[in-house]
Amino acid sequence: MTDLRRVICIEKHTYNQSFPITSFLLVGVSNYKDSIENIKEGDILDMDFEPNNIYDSSAIVIKNITDICGYVPKDSQDKVKSYVPSQVKVIDKRLRKGINSLRVDIIEKVS
C-alpha cells in the first residue's frame, strides 16, 4: 500500500510521519471525548452507515462497541463506502491542548 507523507508541526517540533493512503482522520472527535478517552493505537473499531443522522443522511459512523467515536469526513466517504460495514484500526491518537484527533485505517473485508 502506498504511504502518504505529511509534515506535522506541534509546539515548534516538526517531524515527518507516514500514514497509509486508506487512512483518514475522524471528524467530530471533540464531541466524543469520553468515548475515545480509553482508546489506544491498535484498537479495532466498527464502521457502519448512520442513515438517520439529521446532518448527513450518508454519514458513516465509527463506534467502539456502542459508543460513537467520530465520523468519516465527507471528502473520504466515497473512498470508504464500499468497505462499509467493516472495521477500522486506530493508527494515531493525539489529545493535546484541547485538540483531539483520531486517525484510523480500513481493515480489508474478508470475502
Q: pLDDT of 23-60, one tens digit each? A: 999 999 989 988 998 999 999 999 999 999 999 999 99
CB-based contact 16:5 (threshold 8 Å): yes
What grid cell was written down for 99?
485538540
Task: Name, in order, each residue with C-beta under 8 angstroms of 63's C-beta and a sequence gap of 6 or more.
Answer: 45, 46, 47, 48, 69
The model's confidence at residue 109, banded by pLDDT at 50, 70 and 90, is low
The model's confidence at residue 16, banded by pLDDT at 50, 70 and 90, is low
Alpha-carbon torsion (32, 38, 88, 67), positive or negative: negative
Average pLDDT value for residue range 68-94: 93
Which pLDDT score, from 0 to 100, does residue 91 have?
94
CB-based contact 106:88 (threshold 8 Å): yes
pLDDT, the chain, mean: 83
* Cα-Cα end-to-end distance for the chain: 19
Q: Where on the phi/psi map is residue 42: left (φ > 0), alpha (ψ -120 to 50), or beta? A: left
Which pLDDT score, from 0 to 100, does residue 42 have?
94
Higher pLDDT, 17 or 53: 53
Average pLDDT value for residue range 79-107: 89
pLDDT at 9 over 70: no
What grid cell was written down for 61?
459512523
Beta bridge partners of 47: 62, 86
